[in-house]
Amino acid sequence: MRRTAGLAGLAVVGCAALAAGYFIARSGYLSREEAPAPPTAAAPVPEIRPLFTLADTDGRQRSISEWDGKALMINFWATWCPPCRREIPLLNALRAEYAPRGFAVVGVAVDFREDVLAYLRDTPVDYPVLIGEQDGLDAMRAFGLGTTGFPVTVFTDAAGRIVTVHVGELHRPEAAVILSAVEAVGAGRLDLDAARAQIRAGMAAIEPDEG
């Protein structure tokens, strides 16, 4: 699934339910197919990045506020999600390319801690990864992402304002369009509305096979 959404009218339906069902299944109560999908009311995406705190891979509690002053790519993912796994090399590359330009990537694994740690032992990830089960779902809901498909990447400017939300696997052409607009916001060349309009136009111009 590939979709980029601006703030206006973002209604999201499916990932927290999948993740919640996965947690129930893994706990041994039901098979994954039988796991119930609890209803979650859609919430608007906030203008400002909400605060949340989750444990990192070393077990240390990390607040997203540690990255204040940087433009962020906050990537919500899970080990059992194929497109999440596929986009990790791109996120590694974006971190290396854009870090000197004031950007940071933060991964949020909404998954079982032991599964994430096992996966990361064999998969290079060059950016911080925070891990949460119910608290990871709560972090997603704080962004208005109560029920949507994994992966989801939230793009903020250095002031913590949410510029756009990309639902689905991120590809290089899409990342270039979004990050160019975020940089323009940071430089004062675009306001948020103009940046979102630029992103919509840029996404519409991407050929399907470019992703």
pLDDT, one tens digit per residue, over 79-112 is 999 999 999 999 999 999 999 999 999 999 999 9
CB 172 within 8 A of CB 90: yes
Q: Please state which CATH class domain 2-169 belongs to.
A: alpha beta
pLDDT for 18 equals 52
pLDDT for 39 equals 37
Which one is predicted more confidently, 144 or 147?
144
Burial class (CB in 10 A: 0-12, 13-18, 19+), 48: exposed
Question: Beta strands of the chain (E only): which ranges?
Answer: 2-5, 53-56, 61-63, 71-77, 103-110, 129-132, 152-156, 162-168
Q: Which of 109, 108, 105 is nearest to 178 (CA)?
A: 105
pLDDT for 148 equals 65
Share of the chain above pLDDT 90, in %: 74
The pLDDT tens digits of the residues spanning 16-73 come to: 445 544 443 343 322 233 333 333 444 688 999 999 999 999 999 999 999 999 999 9
pLDDT for 145 equals 86
- The pTM (predicted TM-score) of the whole model is 0.83
Which one is predicted more confidently, 209 or 24?
209
pLDDT for 33 equals 32
DSSP labels, 99-121: GGGTEEEEEEEES-HHHHHHHHH
Residue 4: pLDDT over 70 = no
Which one is predicted more confidently, 10 or 20?
20
Residue 1: pLDDT over 90 = no
The pLDDT tens digits of the residues spanning 162-187 come to: 999 999 999 999 999 999 999 999 99
Which one is predicted more confidently, 208 or 206?
206
Do you know the residue count of the chain?
A: 211
pLDDT for 208 equals 79
pLDDT for 38 equals 37
Q: Would you place residue 211 in the very low, low, confident or very high pLDDT band (cuts 50, 70, 90)?
A: low
